[in-house]
Amino acid sequence: MRPLRERIVVKARAGWMGMGRGAGSTALGLFQILPVFLCIFPSVTSPCKILKCNSEFWAATSGSHHLGTEEAPEFCTALRAYAHCTRRTARTCRGDLAYHSAVHGIDDLMVQHNCSKDGPTSQPRLRTLPPGDSQERSDSPEICHYEKSFHKHSAAPNYTHCGLFGDPHLRTFTDTFQTCKVQGAWPLIDNNYLNVQVTNTPVLPGSTATATSKLTIIFKSFQECVDQKVYQAEMDELPAAFADGSKNGGDKNGANSLKITEKVSGQHIEIQAKYIGTTIVVRQVGRYLTFAVRMPEEVVNAVEDRDSQGLYLCLRGCPLNQQIDFQTIRSAQATEGRARRKGPSLPAPPEAFTYETATAKCREKLPVEDLYFQSCVFDLLTTGDVNFMLAAYYAFEDVKMLHSNKDKLHLYERTRDLAPGNTAPSGTPPALWVALLCLSQCWLGLL
């Protein structure tokens, strides 16, 4: 087994996924580049549901290399269901490169498998994989279990936590707590093992309040443990599988060191990446997403060029020009509430909260007036959406489960500071930097 330090510097390699027994190189090539499009153009795919169509088809055909010729009709049924799914989402996918690649790929596969366009289009089902398939292996090598790689007399790894929730509030790996604007696409984590990117959109048209509407996680290929896997969630779509329809790390011996588990259908999933000692929790609360992670410090700091990690939010925090002075806004809102009571009464919009009613509502779930409580009050005042109270509540529940230091669960002082060099370039959209980052990662995977 390689020493632990050697594990940390191993570079990831992308592992492209095939689908369908006997699929030709032309059709497969089109599908293999879909993750690249999803990575580089995240904003384009937001209203388009091609990802769901891809996942359903890949899930139905993931075991197709075991099929005999007598099961070709089943493959054609799944293919017709795939085509039907793309037609349903055609209007929202106009101009989407991944969508058009999928449509052309379907046509090629129809020809190669002699599938008729007329026939049953039942929804594709998940296959029950035969005994011995990688989805059920339990003989993972020791290197694929982070904690087991430590010797008995070695110091236990030190775990850290990062979380993002609400409008949006960020708790970094160093327990810095910030409220940020960060509209658009931003990287939360970017190290040698995985990338996490979020997209935040306005809660209401013209509103300054934003929340996380999309989340993409890329687990990089690692030795004999896992293939590259992509997980993507959007508003109203929290899949219980990776983008290829699988629920583990692929075909390698240590595939089960990466697993995804659905805790509550459509609301709560958990991803265990044992090969890097990491646990990720993703929730959908109301319409928006929350993110929480538990990760060893050694993995957190496994970056080739630390100076280039200026936009790695979980490590460095939000850039100064993206941070919100929460205390000033909260004081102004409380003063405004008192002034409103003294002046003429005006009709309040539905779901509007005053400072007092927001405080009372948040106290129902968060009795300790820490920063999670204050974030809850802030979000109710800025959005009027009671689901943001639940987002703060579940974010704190995740902290209790994931944080290694139980004395640091509650935070009371909001931090507004900045690591050297952590400034968003003025005049340059953050999404452009993220796109360039993703492009470089995807290009390396193709080499």
127 token code pair: 């296959």
- Give the pLDDT confidence of 222-245 residue by residue, as tens digits: 988 999 999 999 999 999 999 999
Specify whether 101 is located in the same domain as 214: no
Question: Do 212 and 297 share a domain, yes or no?
Answer: yes
pTM for the whole structure: 0.63
Residue 13 lies in a domain: no
Instruction: Report the candidate in 413, 342, 423 with the shortest Cα–Cα distance to residue 177.
Output: 413
Query: Are residue 100 and residue 220 in the same domain, yes or no?
Result: no
In this structure, are 166 and 205 located in the same domain?
yes
Residue 63's pLDDT is what? 52
CATH number of the domain bearing residue 196: 3.40.1000.10
127: in domain: no
Between CA 60 and CA 67, with CA 64 as vertex, the angle to 5 degrees is: 125
Same structural domain for residues 101 and 218?
no
User: Which of 402, 167, 186, 376 is CA-nearest to residue 287?
Assistant: 167
State whether 194 and 269 are in the same domain. yes
Residues 77 and 106 in one domain: yes
How many Å apart are CA 394 and CA 390, to the nearest integer? Answer: 6
Pairing of strands 169-171, 159-165: antiparallel
Sign, CA dihedral 400-403-407-413, equals negative
Q: What DSSP letter does each residue of 311-379 carry, written as one string?
A: T-HHHH-S-GGGB--HHHHHHHHHHHHHHHHHS---PPPTT---HHHHHHHHHTT--S-SHHHHHHHHH
Angle at CA of residue 104, ends 124 and 432, nearest 5°: 100
One domain, residues 286 and 332: no
Sign of CA dihedral 263, 269, 275, 277: negative
**192 found inside a domain:** yes
For the beta carbon of residue 29, count every other beta carbon within 10 angstroms. 14
Closest CA to 248 of 267, 265, 231: 231
Residue 179 sits in the same domain as residue 63: no
Kindly state the DSSP code that residue 11 receives in the 8-state scheme.
P
Give one DSSP letter per residue of 205-222, joined into a string. Answer: TT-S-EEEEEEEEEEPBB
Residue written as token pair 């209401």: 204
Q: What is the per-residue pLDDT for 438?
A: 43
pLDDT at 415: 55
Whether residue 297 is contained in a domain is answered as yes
The total of structural domains in the chain comes to: 3
Going by C-alpha positions, the residue among 409, 413, 351 that lies closest to residue 385 is 351
Asked whether residue 233 is assigned to any structural domain, the reply reads yes
Do residues 47 and 41 touch, judged by C-beta distance below 8 A? no
Angle at 237 between CA 235 and CA 238, to 5 degrees: 110
Q: What is the pLDDT of residue 169?
A: 95
For residue 76 the two structure tokens come to: 């054609």
Q: What is the pLDDT of residue 84?
A: 82
- Residue span of the structural domain in which 250 resides: 148-317
Residues 292 and 156 in one domain: yes
CA distance linking residue 416 with residue 414, whole number of Å: 7
Q: Domain for residue 432, yes or no?
A: no
Q: Is position 276 within any domain?
A: yes
136-156 per-position pLDDT tens digit:
344 457 789 888 876 555 677
DSSP, collapsed to helix, strand or coil, labels residue 21 as coil
63 and 204 together in one domain: no
Asked, for residue 423, whether it belongs to a domain, the answer is no
Give the Cα separation of 328 and 427 in Å (integer): 26
Low-confidence spans in the chain with pLDDT less than 50 = 1-46, 64-70, 123-139, 337-350, 417-447
Per-residue pLDDT at 47: 66
